[in-house]
Amino acid sequence: MNKKTPYILIMPIVLLGVLFIYGVINGIVQSFGYIPAFNLRDFTLDYYIEVIKSPAFLDSLKVTLHISLISSILAAVLGTILTAALVYTGHAEGKVLKVIKLAILIPHTIVALFSISILSQNGLLARLFYKIGLINVQSDFPLFLYTKNNLGIILGYLWKEVPFVAYFSLSLMSSINKTLGEAAENLGASRLKSFFHITLPLSMPAIGKAFLIILTFSFGAYDLPFLLGATVPKALPVQAHVEYIHPDLRHRPYAMAMNGLILLITWTMAGIYYLLSSRNRIKGDKHEGY
C-alpha cells in the first residue's frame, strides 16, 4: 500500500460529505431568502418569522414531536426489553441477530407498504377479523392509517427502531452482563435485581445514544409521515416538502426555513443529550469500556 492509498480510499466519503455540507449550506442560504435564480437577492429573517407565526407550522411541529417522541420512547423501552431478553436467554450472537439485522435493512417505504397491506381497512387484518366474525364489515376495523393519532406512522417506526435499539445496545449489555452482572449475582443479587441495579444503568449510554439517533431521525424523516400520515396537520418534513414542490418557486425559502428549523431542533436535542451525558460523566459514570 503506497502513501496515497488511504487518501484514495477516503475520497468517496469525503465527496459525499462535501455534497451533504454543500446541500445544507445552500439550503440555509436559501432559507434566508437568497435565491438569485428566482430573483430573490435580499437576506432576510422574514421567512422564518412567517413560518413560526403560522398556525399550520405549530400544528405540524406538535404532530412531528408527537410522532418522534412517542415512537422513540416506545422503541427505546421495547428495544431494551428485547435486548435484555436476548442477553438473558443467551442469544446475543447467532441466528436471532441476523433476523434483527434484516428488520433494520428493510427501507421505510417498504415498511409503509407492509403497513398499508396489513393495517388498512382493506388490509389483511381487517379481512381476517371480518372473516372470523369479529367485525361486521371491513370498515369497522379501527383506523390506524391516515389518522390524526398517527398510530400507523408510530407502528411503522417501531418496526425498524425496536430492532435498531436492540442491535445498537446488545454488545454493551451482553458484555456488562457477562462481567459485572455475573459479579452482582455472585454477591447476592437475583437476576432481576442485577439487571436493574447493574446491567441496565451501565447499558444506558448505548440505549441513550440509540434513542437520540432514532429521535432525531424520526423528527426529520419524511417518507413514513408522507405515506401514512393524515392530510392535516402534516408532519413538519412533509409540510416542508409541500412548500418545496409548490408551483410558485418563490415559496422555496419557506421550505428551506422549515428545514432550518428542523435542523435547529435536532441540534438542540443533541445538545441536551450531550449536556445530560456529560453531567453523568462528571459523577463518575465512565463505563463505556465494558
Partner 1 sequence: MELEIKNISVSLSNKEILKSINLVVKDGEFISLLGASGCGKSTLLKTIAGIIKQREGSILLGGKVLDKVPPYKRKTVIVFQDFRLFPHMTIAENISFPLKMLGVNKSEYRKRAIELLKKVKLEGYEDRHVDEISGGQKQRIALARALAADPVVLLLDEPFSSLDVNLRKDMRELVQDLQKELKITTILVTHDQEEALTMSDRIAFMHNGEIQQYDSPENIFKNPINTIVADYFAEGTYVSGHIKDKRFISDFFSINANKDNGSYKCLIRPSALKISKTRDSQFKVVAKVYQGDNYLIKIHNTDGNLKLESILVDPVDIEVGDKVSIELDKDKLIFIPE
List interacting residues with partner 1 (CB under 8 A). Answer: 179-180, 182-191, 193-194, 197-198, 201-202, 283-287, 290
Nine cell digits for residue 140: 369497522
Residue 177, number of CB atoms within 10 A of its CB: 25
Q: Closest separation between CB of residue 190 and partner 1, Å?
A: 5
Residue 120 CA to residue 134 CA, distance in Å, equals 16
Q: Closest separation between CB of residue 89 and partner 1, Å?
A: 15
Q: Closest separation between CB of residue 202 and partner 1, Å?
A: 6
Residue 233 CA to residue 221 CA, distance in Å, equals 16
Contact 122, 138 (CB under 8 A): yes
Of the pair 223, 285, the CB lying nearest partner 1 is at 285
Q: Closest separation between CB of residue 80 and partner 1, Å?
A: 17
State yes or no: cis peptide before 253, omega within 30 of 0. no
Of the pair 131, 286, the CB lying nearest partner 1 is at 286
Q: Closest separation between CB of residue 182 and partner 1, Å?
A: 6
Of the pair 23, 94, the CB lying nearest partner 1 is at 94
Size (the chain), residues: 290
What single-letter amino acid sits at 189?
A: A
Of the pair 59, 285, the CB lying nearest partner 1 is at 285
Long-range contacts made by residues 207-210, C-beta under 8 angstroms, separation at least 24? 207/76, 207/79, 207/80, 207/165, 207/168, 207/169, 208/273, 208/276, 208/277, 209/168, 210/76, 210/79, 210/164, 210/165, 210/168, 210/169
State yes or no: cis peptide before 163, omega within 30 of 0. no
Of the pair 147, 280, the CB lying nearest partner 1 is at 280
Of the pair 193, 250, the CB lying nearest partner 1 is at 193
Q: Closest separation between CB of residue 200 and partner 1, Å?
A: 11
